[in-house]
């Protein structure tokens, strides 16, 4: 079955993680994505990642993660000739994504109002830290800065250790996912209206959405959310030591709480009142702590899940990747061999599956400018034209 975005052409003029990931999500769903980079100022993710040799070769693991299924062209948009090429590409594309400083593309004559004159049906998505307007629109940020500035870090860790940033760049990937959702929605809207759209995605806005329940609670109580570490309001929904490792319990609702206490032979705590559970939190925590040390984490996870009690072993990422369940999800794609790096690599695809026509990886991440000549030929540029553009530093 045809994938959702086959036939849709996307210009990915983004760098680092959030923007490229948004374009990647469209690419695995069939979009024809062309990544645009300055030949002398490449996407920062090309030299970021866990392998120094790949970083030096401009194929860092951060780049490999989210650039499969894309073509690569180099354009220097500070040169008029480079901007002219981009405008030729815009005539034929459906979506343009950029994540540079707010207003910088408008200053180059490449803002939405400029480009919609060329292509009235263009979906134009700008992705920044704080959006296109407001007193901090000009600020440059990264994932960890937004974590710090949004209040998320202040709630992460224990009262003694907070604030702590997360161990993953979740804000980048959350923003990329939100951007892909916004673009998808705009494409559907265009199918109804036959008109283009401008999208303004801000990382701070995404952080606020991820903190949604805290915001609502604060609006009513006036209390700021606190750092509770691995604890919880209720004893039956937090992290515990077992005989050989750590186990996270998630018996949140009354039925789950009752089943947990019965399964642990702690019937004296098997009440269903939230008020009682909160009042007896310390006593319940002590009783559960003693009980869980009698078996291994794996034994408890198996036993409790059979009794319909949410429980999960605390694992490292390598442990998670070895889980046979992961193979059933189709979440990862293995490039057995990528010529440009001389080895294979495993990359994520998307956090969902379709019965038919779903996301998939077809081609490996491209080397810098791998498709420049081919794309320019398709626009009608001759070999002599391309040579001249190179000599001028436009490509």
Question: Which of the residues are catalytic?
Answer: 172
Distance CA 1, CA 303 (A): 41
> The tokens 């490792």 sit on which residue?
245
Distance CA 179, CA 18 (A): 8
Whether 241 contacts 226, CB under 8 Å: no
Distance CA 120, CA 43 (A): 28
- Give the phi and the psi of residue 265 in degrees, each rounded to 5: 60, 40
Distance CA 5, CA 2 (A): 8
Whether 197 contacts 123, CB under 8 Å: yes
Is residue 373 helix, strand or coil? helix
Output DSSP code: residue 267: G
Strand order in the sheet with 246-249: 239-241, 246-249, 311-313
DSSP 300-346: HHHHHHHTT--EEE---HHHHHT-HHHHHHT-EEEEEEETTTTEEEE
């Amino acid at each position: 079955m045809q994938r959702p975005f086959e036939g849709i052409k996307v210009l990915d003029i983004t760098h680092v993680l959030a923007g490229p990931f948004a374009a990647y999500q469209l690419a695995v769903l069939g979009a024809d994505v062309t990544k645009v980079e300055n030949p002398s100022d490449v996407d920062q993710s090309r030299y970021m990642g866990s392998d120094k040799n790949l970083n030096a070769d401009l194929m860092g693991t951060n780049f490999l993660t989210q650039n499969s299924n894309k073509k690569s062209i180099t354009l220097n948009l500070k040169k008029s000739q480079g901007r002219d090429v981009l405008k030729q590409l815009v005539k034929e594309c459906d979506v343009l994504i950029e994540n540079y400083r707010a207003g910088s593309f408008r200053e180059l004559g490449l803002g939405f109002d400029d480009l919609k004159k060329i292509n009235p049906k263009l979906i134009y998505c700008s992705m920044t830290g704080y959006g296109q307007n407001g007193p901090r629109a000009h600020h440059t940020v990264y994932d960890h800065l937004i974590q710090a500035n949004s209040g998320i870090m202040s709630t992460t860790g224990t009262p003694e250790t907070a604030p702590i940033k997360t161990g993953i760049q979740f804000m980048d990937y959350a923003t990329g996912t939100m951007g892909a959702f916004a673009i998808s929605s705009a494409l559907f809207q265009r199918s109804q209206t036959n008109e283009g759209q401008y999208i303004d995605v801000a990382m701070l806005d995404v952080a606020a959405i991820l903190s949604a329940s805290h915001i609502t609670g604060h609006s009513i109580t006036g209390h700021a959310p606190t750092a509770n570490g691995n604890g919880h309001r209720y004893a039956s929904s937090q992290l515990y030591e077992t005989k050989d490792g750590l186990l996270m319990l998630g018996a949140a609702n009354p039925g789950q709480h009752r089943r947990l206490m019965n399964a642990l032979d702690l019937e004296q705590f098997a009440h269903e009142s939230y008020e009682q559970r909160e009042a007896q939190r310390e006593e319940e925590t002590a009783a559960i702590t003693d009980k869980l040390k009698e078996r291994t984490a794996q034994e408890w996870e198996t036993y409790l899940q059979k009794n319909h009690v949410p429980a999960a072993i605390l694992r490292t990422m390598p442990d998670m990747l070895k889980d046979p369940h992961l193979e059933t999800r189709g979440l990862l794609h293995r490039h057995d061999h990528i010529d440009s790096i001389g080895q294979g690599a495993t990359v994520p695809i998307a956090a969902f599956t379709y019965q038919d026509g779903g996301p998939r990886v077809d081609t490996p991440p491209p080397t810098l400018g791998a498709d420049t000549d081919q794309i320019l030929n398709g626009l009608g540029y001759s070999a002599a034209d391309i040579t001249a553009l190179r000599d001028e530093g436009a490509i």
